[in-house]
Structure 1
Amino acid sequence: MEELSRVLIVEGKQDRIKVQRVLEDDIQILCTYGTLGLHALEEMIDEFLLYERDVFIFTDTDDSGVKLRKMLNQELSHAENLFIDRRYRQVEDTPDHVLASILQAANMKVKVDYLKGPEYYE
């Protein structure tokens, strides 16, 4: 199996499902299931060869998401950070068209329908 060159790190399973729904790109999405300990983070970095890949960090804006982002950035200084607006608090609660715009701005290919705002579906 060919390893994908890019990886997107999210916190929870629902975040991964939400992102997979709008992405069209072949990007590996890793789920941390919340805040990792340093040992678990080092194991994830080694297992998925994260020092050798393009890494994107996409966490929630709550305390645990900020803490996880900080830890990931310390270990993966080459990673690019993606941010949601604080009013959404969680990646999984971010509207699809907003999520698609954030991912597209990071040069990820998204499904075109998800770039349309809610007014398109009314």
Structure 2
Amino acid sequence: MTSDDANKIIIVEGRTDKKQIEKLIDEIVTIICTNGTLGVEKMEELIIDYDLDNREVYILVDEDHSGIKLRKQLSLELPHATHIYIDKTFREVAATPELELATALLSRGITVNPIYLM
């Protein structure tokens, strides 16, 4: 479930990450794809368009060089954001097993479909 008027926002890198998360969550959440690193203008645009300063923001990116760089950039711009981490073994959000990803989301208070917790 996703909606542009949801209070929770999850920021991910790519569309495959977004699809994987959409499948697992069981609440209304807006998922934003950055498609890699963000320029200053694009970051400001996202903050304004999605009112990121006034919403619950979660950052879930790959555990590789570009993901770590993006996480640092987002942390500076959105210091109130909650970070969700995947095991470095899997490196990519889209490649993380459903149980692992569902558990990571649930640990940060995002409701997931219970079938992915078995």
TM-score scaled by length of structure 1: 0.92
Unaligned runs of 5+ residues in structure 1 are 117-122
Is contact 2:58-2:81 (8 Å) kept?
Answer: yes
How big is the shift at 1:72? 0.4
CA distance in 2 between partners of 1:2 and 1:14 (Å): 19
CA distance in 2 between partners of 1:61 and 1:89 (Å): 5
How big is the shift at 1:36? 1.1
State which of 94, 110, 115 in structure 1 corresponds to 2:96: 94
DSSP 3-state at the match of 2:19? helix
TM-score scaled by length of structure 2: 0.95
CA distance in 2 between partners of 1:67 and 1:37 (Å): 12
State which of 38, 41, 57 in structure 1 corresponds to 2:40: 38
Identity, in percent, stands at 38
After TM superposition, the runs of 4+ consecutive aligned structure 1 residues lying more than 6 A away are: none
Is contact 2:59-2:81 (8 Å) kept?
Answer: yes
CA distance in 1 between partners of 2:42 and 2:96 (Å): 28
CA distance in 2 between partners of 1:112 and 1:22 (Å): 9
What pairs up with 1:49-60 in 2 under 5 angstroms? 49-60=51-62
Unaligned runs of 5+ residues in structure 2 are none
Over the aligned positions, Cα root-mean-square deviation in angstroms equals: 1.2
1:6 is aligned with what amino acid?
K
Residues matched between the structures, number: 116
Structure with the largest fraction of helix: 1
How big is the shift at 1:2? 7.2
